[in-house]
Each structure stands twice: as C-alpha cells, then as structure tokens.
Chain A
Amino acid sequence: MAKIIVMTSGKGGVGKTTSSAAFSTGLALRGFRTCVVDFDVGLRNLDLIMGCERRVVFDFINVINGEAKLNQALIKDKRLENLFILPTSQTRDKDALTKEGVERVMEELKADFDYILCDSPAGIERGALMALYFADHAIVVTNPEVSSVRDSDRILGVLQAKSRRAELGLDPVQEHLLLTRYDAERVERGDMLNVKDVQEILSIPLLGVIPESPAVLKASNVGQPVTLDDKSNAGQAYRDAVGRFLGEDIEHKFLKPEKKGLLDRILRRSA
C-alpha cells in the first residue's frame, strides 16, 4: 500500500528541500519506487537539488489543469532506477493547487509508487496545507533553534486539525522529528539546544539528527542528493534515518563533537 510522506516545518529555510531530496533518494536506494513532489509553487527548487533542472518540461500544475499527463511530467532520476521527480511550476501561484486536483494526482501516484514524498513550502498557507493534507506520515524538519521549534509545534497542531486523516477521524498522521543542521560542538558548549531538549518539547519520536555539514552545500552545488555522498556524515545520517523509518533499530550518530586529537587533525589535513 502506497504511503504519502510530507516534509514540513512551518519555518522557512530549515532544510525541507534538502531532506526531501535526501530521503527520497534513500528510499529509492532501498529499492522502493519513490516519487518526490515539489509543492513550493512559484519557487521551484527541488529540481535544482535533484539535479534535473534542465529536463523540466511539464509540471505538477500542468497535470492538475489537465494540460499534461502525469507520466509526461514525471522526471526519471538519472542515477536511480526507482526514483522520480514531479517538479512544480515556476510561473504560477499557490492558488493553482486545488484540493481536488492534488487529490487526483496523489491517487494516480499511489497506484504506481511505494512512497510519495511531498516537499512542503514554508508557512501554513495553501501550499503547505495541500502538501500535508493527504499525508500518512509527517517528517517535521526542525533546527535546534527557538523559532524553528515553535513553528514545528505549530505545524504539528495543523497536522492534528487540518489533515485529511484528522478531518475524517482516521488514525492520525504519524509524526517524526528530523533535527537538522545540528552542530554538536555548539551544543556541547551550551550555545545550542540539544536533541533531548527539542524532543522533550515537541514530544514526537526522533527519526534522525542530521549534522551541520559542508557536504550539504556541495551536494546542492552539483545537484546530487547528499545521501549519495558515501563519505559525508550528513549522507550517513540521512541513510540511517531512512533505515529507522523502515523500522530498523539504528543508533543515533553524530550527537557528540568529533574528537579532534593531533592525529585526527593530521589525517584530516591529508584527506
């Protein structure tokens, strides 16, 4: 049975698109047929992060409006057989997302995919509401920072009141906390909220902690989701988060600063 996942946060710029690209890639690496959908109408960016920006012909809105068939708008990832991207429109606005239209596309995707991952825009308006409305799972992307935690709490409230599952009185949307841009050194110095604090405040299960990492910028520069970067700790953290999502018991890594012994420093310099 196909599952719909929303990557949401309330607050902008916390890492939803990065995480959508990384998580969908991780699911496809595990052999699941996965489609990642950009709901940020007017501010298309997922295509860049996925590295398929040159191949966009039709988009989500074209499909909603009946101007193109779904299979014509889906872009097949060049690296992974099981991964598809449904880009959004750069020229229209969020009003183009009608509930009926989104539902039709979601139903059609469900017939063909194991996982449909919706990359939500920031905020709690139409685009964000449509991205979360049909979700079975919500991954709440949060930075260890006060305004981000507050906005995550707000979006949890929206999930519990305005999602399809809430409106129809079905089992609630399953919530997962993904703490991103975690800087263990600053946490250790007491300059940043630690993972326990954030989890305690939001009290939803912890899916993963993604460290602040230069590999994320590099990945976006070249249009290759960080999950595919074998050497980066962020890539490892995303792969682990996918494993946990699939029910595996994996220890959380990168919660402590890396030991910076002399040997480490020398090794690092030569690496």
Chain B
Amino acid sequence: MRLLDLFRSQPKKSAADTAKERLQIVLAHERAGNSSPDYLPMMQREILAVISKYVDIDEKKVRVQLDRQKDMSLLEVDIELPGPSGESIRARLAG
C-alpha cells in the first residue's frame, strides 16, 4: 500500500494530493486533542526551572520548534547558554 502510494505519486503530486496529505496530518493531531498542546507552556516552564538551577538563562533565548509529521512529531527545544562565546546546547525531544 505504502509502496504503491509512493509509485503513484512519483510522477507528479497534484495540488489536491498535497492538500489532502496536509489536512490528514493536521487533523490527526487536532482530533487527538493536541492541536496546540496545552502542556507545552508548563513543560517549557519546568524545563527552564531545571536548567536555571544550574545556569543563568535568558527566557528570550529559548526557542521551541515543532514539526508534525504523519507518524510522529519532532519537538526541538533550543536553549542558548550564556558565556563569552554564547555557546548553545540543544535538547531534542521527539514524541
């Protein structure tokens, strides 16, 4: 089924195909009730609290990025640590 899909869409994916695929992904997440996950703000605050126990961080230097895909979502938390060279550590959470 998968393989067939792959072949079928190989020549040229129509705009309607793209629309369907985009909707399937976004609706799957919305129906699951995590369209704009309400746990994210709290999770972010807790991550920040833990990190600030060890280092001084600027809340503005924290970026949370998400990429929803069919089977999983990739959540990236970027935290820039202070320091002369402004090195940054990056935590990656997938789920």
Binding site for B on A (CB under 8 A): 48, 53-59, 62, 67-69, 71-72, 89-91, 217-218, 220-223
Contacts and interface: CB of A to CB of B under 8 A. Distances in A.
A91 B35 contact: yes
Contacts, number: 65
B22 A72 contact: no
A56 B22 contact: no
Contacts of A57: 36, 40, 64-66, 75
B44 to A, nearest CB: 7
Interface residues of B, number: 25
B47 interface: no
B18 A221 contact: yes
Given A53-B26, A220-B19, 20 more contacts: A48-B22, A54-B26, A54-B68, A55-B65, A55-B68, A56-B36, A56-B66, A58-B64, A68-B40, A69-B59, A69-B62, A72-B63, A91-B36, A91-B38, A217-B15, A218-B15, A221-B16, A222-B15, A222-B18, A222-B19
A90 B63 CA distance: 21
B84 interface: no
Interface string B19-57: 100100110001000011010110010000000000000
B69 interface: yes
A17 to B, nearest CB: 15
B60 interface: yes
Nearest to A70: B60
Contact of A221 (B15, B36, B41, B59): B15
Interface string B54-86: 000001101111111100000100000000000
Nearest to A214: B15
17 contacts: A48-B26, A53-B68, A54-B26, A54-B67, A55-B66, A56-B36, A57-B36, A57-B64, A57-B66, A57-B75, A58-B64, A68-B64, A69-B59, A69-B60, A69-B62, A72-B64, A223-B22
Contacts of B66: 54-57
A54 B68 CA distance: 5
B40 A58 contact: yes
A220 B69 CA distance: 19
